[in-house]
Amino acid sequence: GQVFRLEDYGPSDYLIPETDLTFQLDSADTRVEARLTVERRDGVAADRPLILDGDGLTLESLLVNGAPVAESDYEATADRLVLRSTPPAKRFELTLVTRTDPSANKALMGLYVSNGVFCTQCEAEGFRRITYFLDRPDVLSVYRVCLEADRKTAPLLLSNGNPTDSGELEHGRHFAVWHDPHPKPSYLFALVAGDLGAVHDTFTTASGRDVTLAIYVEHGKEARATYAMDALKRSMRWDEERFGREYDLDVFNIVAVSDFNMGAMENKGLNIFNDKYVLADPETATDMDFANIEAIIAHEYFHNWTGNRITCRDWFQLCLKEGLTVYRDHEFSADQRSRAVKRIAEVRTLRAHQFPEDQGPLAHPVRPRRYREINNFYTATVYEKGSEVVRMIRTLLGADKFRAGMDLYFERHDGQAVTIEDFVRCFEEVSGADLAQFALWYHQAGTPNITASGRYNGRAREFTLEIEQSVPPTPSEARKRLMHIPLAFGLVGSNGEDMTFDGADGATVEDGVIHVRKRKHVIRFKGIGARPVVSLNRGFSAPVTLSLEASAEDRMFLARHDNDLFSRWQALNTLFTEALIEATQRIRGGKEAAFPDELLAYPAEIASDETLGAAYRAQALTLPAEADIAREIGSSIDPDAIHAAISGLREAIGSQCAGTFGELHEALDSGETFTPDAASAGRRALRNVLLDYLSAGTGTPEHATRQFETADNMTAMAAALAVLAHQFPHSPQTAQALAQFEERYRGNPLVLDKWFMVQATTPGPDAVERVRGLMAHEAFSLANPNRVRALIGTFASANQTGFHRADGEGYRFLAETVLAIEKDNPQLAARLAIAFRSWRSLEKKRQEHAREALATISQAKELSRDLRDIVERTLA
């Protein structure tokens, strides 16, 4: 397949300043008329061909300045339209008519129908499935869109911008006209037509402009959209207060659809959402669902400035809008909830998704230089690591200069399509800092490793810290350059407070941050009266792996006393991780797992520490996941041994702390009415972690059965169901709870997804058969991405013992399912295939089975570009 290269970028010969679209919507045969005002760029000769992108299109007619074009003067294929020469005048008009069948569109890119609703998805290259166009993000156009449809089936007609006209047509049809005054790239185009219910509200911006807000959902589900509306208004206010960004149209619409390839899409003034990230009420949504809705509503809204007003020059710059917007939604959630808890959750996500990507065959820089299929680059690296890089810029510059840099970026580049270099330059200019070495975070793939060790010399009153960086090789980047790594730190004294020092040499140390820029730094802190315990990478200031030499006593000391809450969590998490790695080795060696006494006793202490919020305590008590331990072990992984080690630790803590945990679990059942705020959610989270331990400690399903039966909200119910299914898969109580849940939520696909997920993640060798069986369930469908992700995606990414079954059946199952999905929806299939990416770190036999399964996919006939790209890079 064709490879796209960053260095080949060049501006287009032509621009399209105005786009006028008329859709005659029909589910089987939609007519699209595009009137494009085309402009030749200065210096480009009229005999330069105009080449427009298409994808699966049939051209019905073509006019230039209203007149037909001779057949010899153009060529139209499914994937492009070439006009061999253009009129002498600089500006001319092109009128194109194409037809598409939206109901046959199962790839969910371009114009398609979801549950009877017409909708679109154009990012990254879906607009070319609607009409021929310069479908690239640096071609900005002002759109006027006219939608015509049957009034009965599609009373609602929406597009980008503001509504300008509407009325009746013959044969029961009607029309609506929308105008978006802000020039935008084609990937931000959207339309929706259908029969939907709505929640309405208004928002007055800081400068007094009134905005009409609406969230559209299926009839009868309006009440479940009120939380999303609340999150939207909070997001709009927050962006004004934190970044000085106001909304810029008269209306802001959100539409929830049930068939969607990802979370949501930031189309200008018309965000389209996967309904999973809009619909919520206490009975059907967990606290996690509420938090995700808040974050994604905010994320898409924030794109209005970071992405829409200022967009990307080309798709290599994707992190310009995604990394930055993730950073903004992280900050928003941190302000709305607990900052420390939010940070812990972010780091867990980064380690679970981005680290394995960075450490495996699909590694790429935050700003890639090559791609074959851009849809495969909407990755954890671009999004999450991209956000970490922005966060580091804030650490380097401080809050005020960071804000000044953002202000300059908005002012200078509003209305433009720009690059990462443009973005970074704004921060250099406002601060005078040289960010050249720092910018490697954008350009160099791989997770840097920091090793560190400290030595105290009492006589010299000196503490010496040795820090070394290394960046492991990644595909096509064998040699790495040294990075600029900001490590927030503290020297913690025996009273738990940070010690002061009389200067440090060996590295720049400023405002609690060590700037690592060389391979090795030997840093001497002067005037230190007693041995400190060093706390390094506080708040996870840099996205690195850290091997800090420290005794278990020192780690426990930090877990108890570090004044950085993130680092307290980290210290405990490291202790759990070290213990679990050791237990895994023992189990593999045929021995029993054994754990240090203090690690079994400390959880009771932290669980009842009222100085800490409940949400924080829940995070502290949550053991590392199986995948975390696998990643730390790194090679020759045996998922069954890891599973046994974690189960052993859970059981040991559960029985050791049974008294405290039991009382607390009871006390947290306050009977209060459900509210989705962070404090109440924290109490529920803590209660659920305790339930997990208590059940493991007693070895009986009683606690979980009781919680399941008395639950008055989905958070408590889903957690109880998970404990039953995961810890007691064969007990009658589990069978009964599963049956009850299914019966009760049969008619609610989003809730039934939880039922699919719980069973997909039930550990053990029979998981493959269970998942195969569930695929035959009447509520399951390979055509719906949410169903596929709930059952197949969760199985492959979150069921270590099931997916990595020793005989390779999990791999064969995934390969076969991916190929079945690929026929209709290549993007979804490619996403699922990512589960294979860490295959080389498995033990020998599993490696061999995984390689065979990958080979089966790669040998399949007529593989999509999406899937071929993933599979070939994974095997390379």
Neighbours of 541 (CB within 10 A): 23
Q: Which is nearer to Zn ion, 322 or 346 (CB)?
A: 322
- Residue 131: phi and psi, rounded to 5, are -150, 165
| Least Cβ distance, residue 124 to ligand B3K (angstroms) | 5
231 with 293: CB under 8 angstroms? yes
Closer residue to ligand B3K (CB): 27 or 379? 379
Task: Using alpha carbons only, give the angle 817, 819, 820 rounded to the nearest 5 degrees.
Answer: 65
Q: CB count, 10 Å around CB of 248?
A: 17
Report the greatest alpha carbon distance in the chain. 95
Residue number, 255 or 620, with CB nearest to Zn ion:
255
- Single out the catalytic residue among 300, 331, 632, 651: 300
> Running DSSP on this structure, what letter comes out for residue 500?
P
Chosen from Zn ion, ligand B3K, none, partner binding at 817 (C-beta under 5 to 8 Å by type): none
The least distance separating Zn ion from the CB of residue 299, rounded to whole angstroms, comes to 6
Q: How far is the CB of 420 from ligand B3K (least distance, A)?
A: 17
> Contact residues for Zn ion (CB under 5 A)?
322, 325
For ligand B3K, give the closer residue by CB, 187 or 803: 187
Q: Are 250 and 212 in contact (CB under 8 A)?
A: yes
3-state helix, strand, coil in the chain (%, to 5): 45, 20, 35
Give the nearer residue to Zn ion in terms of CB position, either 325 or 801.
325
The helix (H) or strand (E) run that includes residue 114 is strand 110-114
For residue 791 the two structure tokens come to: 């059952």
Report the nearest approach of ligand B3K to the CB of residue 119 (Å): 14
Distance CA 589, CA 587 (A): 5
Q: Which does 124 bind (CB under 5 to 8 A by kind): ligand B3K, Zn ion, none?
A: ligand B3K
- Closest contact distance (angstroms) between CB of 306 and ligand B3K is 10
At 789 the three-state DSSP class reads helix
Choice between 137 and 360, CB closer to ligand B3K: 137
532 neighbors 493 (Cβ within 8 angstroms): yes
How far apart are alpha carbons 361 and 872 in whole angstroms?
A: 10
Residue-wise DSSP of 711-772 = --SHHHHHHHHHHHHHH-TTSHHHHHHHHHHHHHHTT-HHHHHHHHHHHHT--STTHHHHHH
Opening angle at CA 114, ends 112 and 116, nearest 5 = 105
Give the whole-angstrom CA distance, residue 638 versus residue 588.
Answer: 8
How many angstroms separate the CA atoms of 119 and 121, rounded? 7
Where along the sequence are the contacts to ligand B3K (CB under 6 A)? 123-124, 262, 264-266, 299-300, 303, 322, 375, 378
CB of 329 to Zn ion, least distance (A): 8
Q: Which is nearer to ligand B3K, 309 or 684 (CB)?
A: 309
| Binding partner of 550, given Zn ion, ligand B3K, none, CB within 5-8 angstroms per partner class | none
- Which C-beta is closer to ligand B3K: that of 262 or that of 485? 262
Contact of residue 265 among ligand B3K, Zn ion, none (CB under 5-8 Å per partner type): ligand B3K
Binding-site partner at residue 262 among Zn ion, ligand B3K, none, CB < 5 to 8 Å by type? ligand B3K
300 counts as catalytic: yes
Q: Is 481 exposed, middle or buried (0-12, 13-18, 19+ CB in 10 A)?
A: exposed
**What DSSP state is assigned to residue 637?**
B
- For the bound state, the minimum distance from the C-beta of residue 169 to Zn ion, rounded and expressed in Å, comes to 37
123 binds, among Zn ion, ligand B3K, none (CB under 5 to 8 A by kind): ligand B3K
- 384 touches, from Zn ion, ligand B3K, none (C-beta below 5 to 8 Å by class): none
Please state whether beta strands 545-548 and 513-516 pair in parallel, antiparallel, or not at all (unpaired). Answer: unpaired
Q: Is 679 left (phi over 0), alpha (psi -120 to 50) or beta?
A: alpha
Nearer to ligand B3K, 321 or 683 (CB): 321
Please give the structure tokens belonging to residue 434.
């040289």
Taking the complex as a whole, how short is the minimal distance between the CB of residue 156 and ligand B3K, in angstroms? 23
Q: How far apart are CA 481 and CA 310, in angstroms?
A: 31
Shortest approach of Zn ion to residue 338 CB, angstroms? 24
- Residue 524 — left, alpha, or beta (φ > 0 → left; ψ -120 to 50 → alpha)? beta
375 binds, among ligand B3K, Zn ion, none (CB under 5 to 8 A by kind): ligand B3K
Residue 454: beta bridge partners? 465
Retrieve residue 411's tokens. Answer: 């002012």
Residues annotated as part of the active site? 300
